[in-house]
Structure 1
Amino acid sequence: MMLPSRAACTIVSPNYLAYARTLTASYLAQHPGQRFFVLIVANLHDPSPFQGDAFTTVMLHEIGLRDVHAEAMKYGILELNTNVKPTFMKHLIERYDLDALAYIDPDIFCYTALDPVFDALSNGASAVLTPHITTPVFDGRSPSEQDLLFNGSYNLGFIAVRRCEESWNLLTWWEERCLELGYSEGRTGLFVDQKWMNLAPSLFGGVCILRDSGCNMAYWNLHERTLDESPEGYHVTSSVSGRVPLRFFHFSGIVVSDPEVLSKHTDRFTLASRPDLHRLFADYKAAVIANKNGAAESLPYGFDSFSDGTTVTLLARRMYAKHQARFPAENPFDAKSKFAGFAKEQKLVQGTVAQAKSTWKEFNPHDRRVEAVHKLLKVALRVLGPHKYELFMRYLAYITVLRNQSVFLRDPQWPADETGK
């Protein structure tokens, strides 16, 4: 009897290669005989710097994107890495005639074979998703249930599919949404590839929501899961699954250079408050550090600047996405392209050094510039009255979405009715 053809994959840019190497080793140790594929998301065509590892390297231009440069201009590095996921999965299923394929985020480590996943697929599931949480949490800490309403019910650091018509339809639907509207844009209800999967169980048959507590343990569900170690390995205890083997842990938000950090994305627990996680995290951080490859990891991403070195900003990307049809048949990263000229003329880009991303932690409500804005808003309230002021606030909310700022960042030659509201 021929065994089913199963495989797994992940996606990284060169700077994240150590994570991919660590994941690959952990997965293949638990699934001997399977293959593991790594997609390199960068403006590179030569796979040789990524050869010599246990995984099979796939370059971005190989997976069948209609226009690699256009997608890379629309999206930042995180967005692009996540939004090519369904295209990559479809490519692997067809190219290698796979019966089952699991996508696994690079910052995951497999501790036991993913039997519950492949069993679900063998029993007829078209796809397998894992929910962020399986029990309520309402303690004023982050991530909260409200955060998950914002980011998505299911964590798309993991998805597995069986080769069948229904899963192909799911992947095709997901691919179209990711490539068209895969923005990290909370104000419009979008969060890269992940948020779309809220709809999958109701749109497609056979989508299994796997509530096994040993799968996708991570900072977001630590309130409901504890870990213990025995000679047989790690086990997870929860009210949902009882005591089960730890299948895979998702080290999202980890800082491998800091032995004290659990995750940058939570304030619910620290490593100091979770002694059950000490050895797990220490061993994982050491494994990632041991798998570093300075030469390969230093290779440029290549989609972060025009050919003359001018840094591409998020604002420029969003203006390109909004008006992509006006820049056809060109490489938008070419400094001589029509889009590059437009971006420079409209002051959407400036300089050759990328600015660090600002966060709310840096926001100072007492800054004199902020206070000046507050005074202007107070004047607007008095002038407009409460009802018109509410409409004004709705307008401001609209244009805080960068794609909508073409209302005043418009090429003077463009007709007003073609640039959005």
Structure 2
Amino acid sequence: MGKTIAFTSAALNYLPKVRKLCASIRTHHPEWEIVLALADERSSTVDFADEPIDRVLAVDDLDIPDRRRWTYFHAIVELATAIKPFVLVELLDDPEVDRVLYFDPDMVLFSRLDDLLASLEGANLVLTPHLTKPETGLEGIRDNEISALKHGVYNLGFVGVNRTDEGRRFARWWADRIYHFCVADIPNGLFTDQRWIDLAPAFFDGVGILKSPRFNVATWNLPTRSVTGDMQNGFRVDGEPLGFYHFTGFDSGAHRVMADKYATASPSVWSLIEWYAQEARFDESEPVSKLPWKYGAYSDGSRIPLEHRRLYRARPDLQDAYPDPFEAAPRSLKTWMEQQGPIEYPEIFGAKKAAG
């Protein structure tokens, strides 16, 4: 039997979260190879030999056409999602690999996932829907069902793909779409890498939909799942062992807000939340969490505003004129944005200036 690879994607400053996920993978599936897709450049200050990670694939390691300009197009979260299918393609190209699993870095495994692997044996890829049961109240419909309609039916915090012809065809298709359209633009039907996967069951054969309540437990499905147990004795979801929990929106406080709304009467959920909060207690004090994102600044160290990225993406003439958008020089994209940008786009740069 070939290898199973589990990978996640993040910039260096998210390594404390990555460490929690990868340590949990190592605990429950020590036989898997663990890969970090690094949406950043490597740093001499970070020694991955000390981390529960077997291999690192950075942006510069990936076969992405016109990579320098393409990288500039993306904000940090967009880049972390945009490289996922390219890493998937590369990992599936290895004939020694049987299957590849992706997990978001803000997830934690709480038990083995042998049943998930068994489901993947009979499929080319497997997905976890945001919701597996209908909501029963209007508030839940608004918060969760309508949100799934806007952000995507399937949560791309997890995807599993077999190294079959169809699985590899899916990975290449996804990479091709994400290459051009990995943006958060909900009014125009896009939410980074996620909305595209709504099409996967129609475009590809052997797409498995994992409906077990123990997979990808998160605030959006807490109203329809019963979580019991504790850290000492283990957690169960609708009677099944908790597989992996998604602590999405934890740092912003959104996770607690939604849990307070939908899990007030569940001490087990709050036990999970308090455990993760304790685990993350010193994240912000870790030196790695303060490392600046390499692609977040021009070569002179000045921050790249999102408006610059959006304009550069939309203007092929600027892409041709400034092939290295990160350069800061008298004749550079940065200079154009500062001098010509306000003239051509006063509604963008004027508002930014007034706000600043």
Partner of 1:301: 293
Residue of structure 2 in register with 1:217 after alignment: 217
Counterpart check, 1:250 vs 2:251: no
Matches within 5 A, 1:58-69: 58-69=57-68
Mark the runs of 5 or more structure 2 residues left unpaired by the alignment.
349-356
Which residue does the alignment assign to 1:73? 72
Q: Distance in 2 between matches of 1:253 and 1:265?
A: 10
Give the structure-1-normalised TM-score.
Answer: 0.75
1:273-312 equivalence runs, <5 A: 273-289=265-281, 294-312=286-304
Output aligned runs, 1:18-417, within 5 Å.
Answer: 18-44=16-42, 46=44, 48-55=46-53, 56-95=55-94, 97-123=96-122, 125-137=123-135, 138-141=137-140, 143-229=143-229, 233-237=234-238, 243-255=239-251, 263=255, 266=258, 269=261, 272-289=264-281, 294-324=286-316, 326-328=318-320, 330-336=323-329, 338-347=332-341
Q: Letter of the 1:84 partner, please give it.
A: I
Q: Distance in 2 between matches of 1:84 and 1:144?
A: 27
How many residue pairs match? The answer is 343
Q: How far apart, in 2, do the equivalents of 1:13 and 1:114 lie? A: 26
3-state SS of 2:156 partner: coil
Contact 1:18 1:293 in 2 (8 A): no
Which runs of 5 or more structure 1 residues have no equivalent in the other structure? 238-242, 350-404, 410-421
Which has the higher mean CA deviation after the structures are superposed, 91-100 or 312-321? 91-100
User: AA paired with 1:246?
Assistant: L
Q: CA 1:309–1:347 in structure 2 vs 1: closer, same or farther (change >3 Å)?
A: farther
Q: Return the letter of the residue paired with 1:72.
A: T
Q: Which amino acid aligns with 1:263?
A: H
Structure 2 distance, partners of 1:300, 1:130, is: 33
Give the AA of the match of 1:330.
P
Q: Percent identity?
A: 27
SS of match in other structure, 1:173: helix
Distance 1:319 1:62 in 2: 27
Q: TM-score, normalised by structure 2?
A: 0.88
Q: Which has the higher helix share?
A: 2
2: CA distance between counterparts of 1:58 and 1:293?
26
Cα deviation code 1:103-141 (max 9, x no counterpart)? 000110101111222101212x00010000011224225
Q: Is the 8 A contact 2:250 2:256 kept in 1?
A: yes
Q: Residues 160 and 70 of structure 1: is their aligned pair in 2 closer, same or farther, counting only changes over 3 Å?
A: same
How big is the shift at 1:165? 0.8
CA RMSD of aligned residues (A): 2.7
Q: What letter matches 2:296 in structure 1? A: D
For 2:11 and 2:3, the matched residues in 1 are separated by: 27
Q: Relative contact order: is structure 1 or structure 2 higher (C-alpha 8 Å, sep ≥ 6)?
A: 2
Q: Is the 8 A contact 1:109 1:250 kept in 2?
A: yes
- CA-CA distance at 1:286 after TM superposition: 2.2
Distance 1:103 1:292 in 2: 25
Contact kept? 1:49, 1:296, Cα under 8 Å? no
- Tell me the CA shift for residue 293 of structure 1: 7.5
Distance 1:272 1:31, change over 3 A: same
Taking a change above 3 Å as real, the CA distance of residues 263 and 408 of structure 1, as seen in their structure-2 partners, is closer
Higher-Rg member (1/2): 1
Residues 66 and 289 (structure 1 numbering): CA distance in 2 closer, same or farther, change over 3 Å?
A: farther
State the secondary structure of the residue aligned to 2:139: coil
**For the residues of structure 1 that align with 2:295 and 2:254, how far apart are their CA atoms?**
31
